[in-house]
């Protein structure tokens, strides 16, 4: 294989991973919209589109393995391939989370929410924005949004704790509200995981670009000061 063709394969692999990320983004947006608007048909369409995510992940993983086996890449190319193998797992789990949200939406049906939705829509907006930033970072190898990502993650985790405390209070004060409160708590947990996966994708992209493995916020903050 010529050097040009090899580089083309790496580029095509990265493009395919990015497209999987776009699918995850599309389904997260659709599932959260279906939840907020109680659009059962939209939720069902998400469930239908999410069916083949495991197969999609496996196909991309096999392509990564083939390139490694046949070309024995080193340095940056190897980091790109290994990052692709990692982030497709995050994208697959995001697609599953979209399915989980859609499934919960269908189960809730037209039941009224136990309380006006205030913090959950904020978590949705943060998660979608973080996923946008993570996808952009992966595609363009641009790490400039790191501080924003960190702050958004911290904010989302704080909102989750606030939602959890409020809903548990509802349950304690009136056990009859257990089902409705639990539905919202489940959604909040899914949204927290969406934020975690978006942040994880960004951190994996830091490794792809710099070769540095991020273990915690402090490590990442020091690295970003050095390279930005």
Predicted confidence pLDDT, tens digits, the chain (228 residues): 577 888 899 999 999 999 999 999 999 999 999 999 999 999 999 999 999 999 999 999 999 999 999 888 888 999 999 999 999 999 999 999 999 999 999 999 999 999 999 999 999 999 999 999 999 999 999 999 999 999 999 999 999 999 999 999 999 999 988 999 999 999 999 999 999 999 999 999 999 999 988 766 555 555 445 544
Q: Which fold has domain 3-227?
A: Methane Monooxygenase Hydroxylase; Chain G, domain 1 (1.20.58)
pLDDT at residue number 148: 96
**In the chain, domain spans:** 3-227
What are the CA-CA distances from residue 73 to residues 68, 70, 126, 208, 210 (Å)?
6, 9, 36, 14, 16
pLDDT at residue number 222: 53
pTM over cut 0.75: yes
């Amino acid at each position: 294989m010529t050097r040009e063709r090899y580089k083309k394969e790496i580029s095509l692999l990265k493009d395919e991973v990015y497209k999987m990320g776009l699918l995850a983004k599309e389904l997260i947006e659709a599932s959260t919209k279906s939840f907020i608007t109680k659009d059962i048909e939209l939720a069902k369409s998400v469930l239908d589109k999410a069916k083949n995510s495991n197969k999609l992940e496996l196909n991309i993983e096999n392509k990564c393995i083939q390139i490694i086996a046949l070309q024995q890449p080193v340095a940056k190319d190897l980091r790109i391939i290994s990052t692709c193998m990692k982030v497709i797992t995050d994208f697959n789990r995001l697609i599953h989370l979209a399915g989980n949200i859609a499934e919960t939406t269908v189960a809730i049906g037209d039941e009224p929410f136990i309380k006006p939705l205030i913090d959950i829509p904020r978590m949705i907006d943060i998660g979608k924005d973080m996923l946008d930033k993570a996808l952009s970072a992966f595609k363009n190898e641009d790490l400039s949004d790191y501080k924003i990502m960190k702050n958004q993650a911290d904010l989302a985790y704080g909102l989750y704790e606030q939602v959890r405390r409020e809903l548990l209070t509802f349950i304690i004060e009136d056990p009859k509200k257990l089902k409705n409160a639990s539905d919202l708590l489940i959604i909040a947990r899914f949204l927290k995981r969406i934020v975690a996966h978006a942040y994880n994708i960004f951190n994996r992209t830091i490794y792809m670009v710099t070769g540095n493995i991020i273990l915690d916020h402090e490590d990442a903050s020091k690295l970003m000061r050095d390279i930005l």
